Amino acid sequence: MSNSSDFVSGSIEQILLGLARGLRDAQAVLDDIPPTDAFGRPQSSYHLPYLDFSIKATVEASLPSEPQDSDTGVRTLRTNSIKASRIPLLKLQLPDLKRSAEASTGATELTSTFSGRLVSVPPSNSLPTLRINARAQAADEAKPLQRELLIEVSNSAGERIAQAPVELNLDLQTSLLLSEAAGVKNLSQEQLRSGLQLEQRVLQTDATGVAQVGLSLTNTLPANTNLVLLINSGASLTQLILTP
């Protein structure tokens, strides 16, 4: 009975998880809509507040049929199973509309309906969330290892955030993994630390929501080195990969 119960509960759990994932994926698609159109005009944003569902399932319990005497038609039990108790077999199935309404002998069906609501909780208590865009460009074409990092902080409503604190950190572990995958062997964390020089590590955006800082890479780093720079402002975080 425990295995049958686990099967029933596991089936319902998978259905509910599938509904929750579908709601999350649908909201993710809506979140990808840009806040402004090609002409800079604000566009509508959408949020799925909840999802009502109703699941109808049938649990069927059946007992193994007993052997019958071919001559007399009288049911007989085998000798080695006279004292054995028969355990009902349970299975969960969705209703089949094409199935015949005739009930099979020795089977009992219980139909249950599960109804509920999945409520989606918007981030930041329905307030616009921060977004960080970052890019690095060469400050001087003659010096490709010296670059200028531009960071733009805005929110999901399309507003630029002024005076927002921005922090820069180097992700050493991810940098080592990506560099090794790119073919750079025996690279140490100390080489990564000394290979990236930042003018500042703590910044603040200006009135237009933009912060910029200069950085330089040393020529001692192998060509395929990947430096993962973490850029965060409050709870928002983005990554930027720098290569020599």
Quote the pTM value: 0.52
Whether 71 is in a domain gets the answer: no
117 and 131 housed in the same domain: no
90 and 173 housed in the same domain: no
165 and 54 housed in the same domain: no
Domain boundary among 121, 156, 191: 121
141 and 235 housed in the same domain: yes
Whether 72 is in a domain gets the answer: no
Whether 70 is in a domain gets the answer: no
150 and 222 housed in the same domain: yes
137 and 221 housed in the same domain: yes
Count of domains observed in the chain: 2
CATH number for 203: 2.60.40.10
Q: List the chain pLDDT tens, one digit each, 244 residues.
A: 455 555 556 677 888 888 888 888 888 888 788 777 777 677 777 778 888 888 877 766 665 555 555 544 445 444 444 444 444 454 555 555 555 555 445 566 777 787 888 887 766 666 788 899 999 998 788 888 899 999 999 988 889 999 999 999 999 999 999 999 999 988 999 999 999 999 999 999 999 999 999 999 998 899 899 999 999 998 889 999 999 8
Contact 201, 167 (CB under 8 A): yes
Contact 57, 114 (CB under 8 A): yes
Whether 33 is in a domain gets the answer: yes
What range does the domain containing 152 cover? 127-242
